[in-house]
Amino acid sequence: MDITDNRRLNLTDSLKIEGFENLKRIRIKKFKLISLEIRNCSQLNEINLVELPILTSLSVTGCSNL
């Protein structure tokens, strides 16, 4: 999953990604997120966070391949 800042997608404040059991990679770039929560993505083995200047809270649980 690649989530990159664009005009159609406006992510601010918080983002929760949960229950994507077949998700293997997440790349999140250039958003004004304060909080990111990733839960129960059992196949996830890579998280790439780029240019998230105000991110202060990151929670990753139930992602056993990390």
Distance CA 57, CA 37 (A): 8
Judge whether 66 lies within some domain: no
Q: Taking the mean position of all CA atoms in its chain, how far away is CA 14?
A: 10
> What is the model's pLDDT at position 60?
98
**Total structural domains within the chain:** 1
Q: Residue 15 is part of which domain span?
A: 2-61
> What is the model's pLDDT at position 7?
62
Tokens of 1: 């999953």
Tens place of pLDDT per residue across the chain (66 aa): 777 766 667 777 899 999 999 999 999 998 889 999 999 999 999 999 999 999 999 999 999 999
Contacts of 31 (CB under 8 A, 6+ apart): 3, 5, 11, 12, 15, 52
Distance CA 64, CA 66 (A): 6
- End-to-end, the C-alpha distance of the chain in Å comes to 16
